[in-house]
Amino acid sequence: MGDAAVRMKVMPESADLDLKALAEEIKKAVPSFARLHAIQEMPIAFGLKALIVVTIMNDKGGRSPDEIEEAVRKVPGVESVEVEEVGLL
């Protein structure tokens, strides 16, 4: 069919964590079958910010957005990862 965009909300372990450094580690963790499209900060509450991570992957080939989520979850400093949206491009 084509490409799919996977949008995830990544919560850091603490509000004091350097989000720029965390974003760099997330970039390195994205599996080779996907490519990073964008990372942006989103304010949550009381100084806490989340990272919104958007990746693009081919929807053929038997790969799953869950594999991207799991790879990002393993990055040190990541508290949680939630896939918010998956859509065809």
Split at pLDDT 50, 70, 90, the class of 1 is: low
Tell me the pTM.
Answer: 0.92
- Residue 89 near residue 37, CB atoms below 8 Å: no
pLDDT tens across 15-50, in order? 899 999 999 999 999 999 999 999 999 999 888 999
The predicted structure's pLDDT at residue 89? 86
CA distance 89 to 61: 16
- Residue 40 near residue 51, CB atoms below 8 Å: yes
pLDDT tens across 42-79, in order? 999 888 999 999 999 998 878 899 999 999 999 999 99
Q: Which residues pair with 83 in a beta bridge?
A: 8
Can you tell me whether residue 19 is helix, strand or coil?
helix
The predicted structure's pLDDT at residue 61? 75
- The residue type of 17 is L
More confident position, 10 or 46: 10
- The CATH architecture assigned to 3-88 reads 2-Layer Sandwich (3.30)
CA angle 67, 58, 25 (to 5 degrees): 45
CA distance 70 to 55: 13
